[in-house]
Amino acid sequence: MGLKDLINNIRERKREKKQKFIEAEEDMRIQEMLEERKKSANERELEKFMKKEREEKIKLELDKMRKKEARDINFNHNPLDVPNVISHAKWEILKEKNMFKNNSNMFFNNEFIFKNNPNLLKNNMRLLR
């Protein structure tokens, strides 16, 4: 069995699954239509209103849950409650003295490396005079 056969088998299984899904949806729709036709007009109208009311309740509850989640995200995380990384650290490197604090600058009083370099520009113009 080659790669082409494997791809064709996968494609065929996907096509069969899609076809079965379409048939199942159609069977379900037919079944619902038969059940609806068995009911009286008043019963269908009542169910329509009940469904509309149920959808409105779901929408209100969903809005409440979204607002609650947004409030939790915005206000329930207090960054002041998080421990300070430097003062409450478990690593010794953060508790050591700063070794660079009193050292002088190594570039101070040194010549600029490009100063007086004629090869820097093609027209032999010096960058700094």
Chain segment 62-92, per-residue pLDDT in tens: 999 999 999 888 887 766 666 666 666 666 6
CA–CA dist 44, 129 (Å, integer): 95
pLDDT of residue 88: 63
pTM of the predicted protein model: 0.44
Q: How far apart are the first and last CA of the chain?
A: 77
For residue 99, pLDDT over 80 is answered with: no
Domain ranges across the chain: 14-74
| pLDDT reading at 58 higher than 60 | yes
pLDDT averaged over every residue in the chain: 82
pLDDT of residue 87: 63
* Residue 53 confidence class, pLDDT cut points 50, 70, 90: very high
